[in-house]
């Protein structure tokens, strides 16, 4: 026992427990959230366009807000995030659903470089814009008295994957999670882009009802 060597150490919460306490929208609530805040709109303002794209791609807020047109291939329906913009400093490819592509096409012409520019000064959109929107609409979460956060839509996606029978490996790669096991990581030679595509299409279909 480690306590025999080190004595009684202060109890430290695991990363999983700490993360679990962050307010996430239950995946079952997402279709209604889409109907209430996206479906009935003829056009999307920059905040809702950014948020919906974030949800559809299960990407981190900073990755979406800093997205540039040079990273996008509309014909191949793929978004390639360079290493310097990724948490793990490894390139990440995201297969784009038809709904995600539709959002991007609406963004064309707003800015020469940024996909989701701030409407005020044409710089990267602030994370607080998404936070303020979710608070304003009182986005439901699994934590009583708190609204869902933009980052935790990734958790909503991960739970949906588990509940709907998608392989753990595909879900983890979609979230760009690093493989901690060095032996396992050594065999990860592909990002399974095309195998992930049907999963992301199904996720978009679930949310939008298309």
Q: Which residues are catalytic?
A: 60, 87, 151, 154, 177, 187
d(CA 118, CA 145): 30
Element (H, E) at 20: helix 15-20
The angle at the Cα of 177, spanning 197 to 142, to the nearest 5 degrees, equals 90
Given the structure tokens 């701030």, which residue do they identify? 118
Which residues are registered as beta bridge partners of 117?
124
Which residues are registered as beta bridge partners of 78?
73, 95
On whether the CB atoms of residues 129 and 51 are closer than 8 A, the answer is no
On whether the CB atoms of residues 39 and 187 are closer than 8 A, the answer is no
Q: Which of 161, 194, 189 is nearest to 175 (CA)?
A: 161
d(CA 171, CA 147): 24
């Amino acid at each position: 026992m480690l306590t025999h060597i080190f004595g009684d150490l202060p109890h430290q919460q695991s990363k999983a427990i700490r993360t679990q306490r962050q307010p996430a929208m239950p995946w079952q609530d997402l279709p209604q959230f889409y109907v209430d805040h996206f479906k009935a709109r003829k056009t999307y303002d920059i905040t809702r366009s950014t948020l919906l794209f974030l949800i559809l791609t299960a990407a981190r807020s900073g990755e979406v807000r800093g997205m540039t047109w040079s990273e996008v291939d509309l014909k191949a329906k793929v978004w390639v995030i360079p290493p310097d913009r990724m948490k793990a400093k490894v390139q990440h490819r995201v297969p784009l659903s038809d709904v995600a592509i539709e959002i991007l096409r609406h963004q064309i012409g707003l800015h020469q470089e940024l996909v989701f520019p701030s409407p005020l000064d044409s710089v990267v959109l602030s994370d607080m814009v998404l936070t303020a929107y979710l608070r304003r609409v009182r986005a439901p979460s699994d934590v009583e008295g708190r609204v869902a956060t933009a980052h935790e839509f990734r958790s909503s996606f991960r739970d949906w994957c588990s509940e709907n029978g998608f392989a753990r490996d595909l879900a983890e790669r979609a979230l760009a999670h690093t493989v901690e096991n060095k032996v396992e990581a050594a065999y990860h030679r592909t990002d399974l882009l095309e195998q992930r595509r049907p999963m992301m299409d199904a996720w978009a279909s679930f949310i939008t009802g298309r």
